[in-house]
């Protein structure tokens, strides 16, 4: 019990550091809210598309099964193309997530908003590519 209390107190004191080495935001509350709204817009698009990752993996398995039972070279090529589209859709989402960093509140507001607007465009492209790959795979399965 004493050990737990000592560890707790240690972390409490460490977390109360004055933060002299950290930059402080000079943004107004309205500017912080403006940035947060833009972040919400970006993340709403991400959150719309992210659940599709499971669907992509499920469709991939179904297309693989179709491919293995195919007797036609043209169908095999078609299934390979669908698999490539599904893989690309999966990869671009993973790449976007690794690359995306929410800007902090210590830089210039116009740069942060510009970055977020660009990320909104990029994640929209990711979402659209994922939707297209999913729809094409579904169409192939339902033929």
pLDDT tens-digit series, residues 58-109: 999 999 999 999 889 999 999 999 999 999 999 999 999 999 999 999 889 9
Q: Are 106 and 35 in contact (CB under 8 A)?
A: no
pLDDT tens-digit series, residues 61-71: 999 999 999 88
The answer to whether position 16 is within a domain reads no
**Into how many domains does the chain fold?**
1
CA angle 19, 28, 110 (to 5 degrees): 95
Q: To which residue do tokens 């935001």 refer?
A: 25
The answer to whether position 8 is within a domain reads no
* The pair of three-digit structure tokens given for residue 3, joined into one six-digit string: 């050990």
- The C-alpha torsion from 61 through 50 and 126 to 83, rounded to 10°, is 0
The answer to whether position 88 is within a domain reads yes
Q: Are 59 and 132 in contact (CB under 8 A)?
A: no
Task: Find all residues with CB under 8 Å of 82, minimum gap 6, and list them.
Answer: 63, 133, 136, 137, 140
- What's phi and psi for 106, nearest 5 deg? -105, -10
Confidence of residue 16 (pLDDT cuts 50, 70, 90): low
118 versus 24: the higher-pLDDT residue is 118
pLDDT tens-digit series, residues 21-56: 556 778 999 999 999 999 999 999 999 999 999 999
pLDDT at 116 over 80: yes
The answer to whether position 15 is within a domain reads no
Closest to 90 in 3D by CA, of 47, 121, 55:
55
The answer to whether position 129 is within a domain reads yes
Domain that holds residue 52: 27-141
DSSP string, 24-45: -----HHHHHHHHHHHHHHHHH
What is the model's pLDDT at position 27?
Answer: 92
The answer to whether position 19 is within a domain reads no
The answer to whether position 17 is within a domain reads no
The answer to whether position 21 is within a domain reads no
């Amino acid at each position: 019990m004493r050990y737990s209390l000592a560890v707790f107190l240690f972390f409490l004191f460490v977390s109360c550091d004055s933060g002299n080495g950290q930059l402080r935001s000079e943004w107004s509350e309205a500017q912080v809210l403006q940035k947060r709204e833009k972040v919400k817009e970006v993340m709403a698009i991400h959150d719309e598309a992210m659940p599709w990752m499971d669907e992509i993996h499920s469709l991939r398995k179904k297309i693989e099964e179709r491919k293995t039972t195919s007797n036609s070279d043209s169908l095999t090529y078609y299934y390979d193309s669908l698999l490539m589209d599904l893989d690309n859709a999966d990869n671009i989402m993973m790449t976007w997530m690794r690359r995306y960093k929410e800007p902090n509140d210590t830089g210039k507001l116009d740069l942060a908003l510009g970055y977020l607007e660009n990320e909104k465009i990029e994640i929209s492209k990711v979402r659209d590519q994922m939707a297209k790959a999913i729809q094409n795979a579904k169409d192939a399965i339902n033929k």
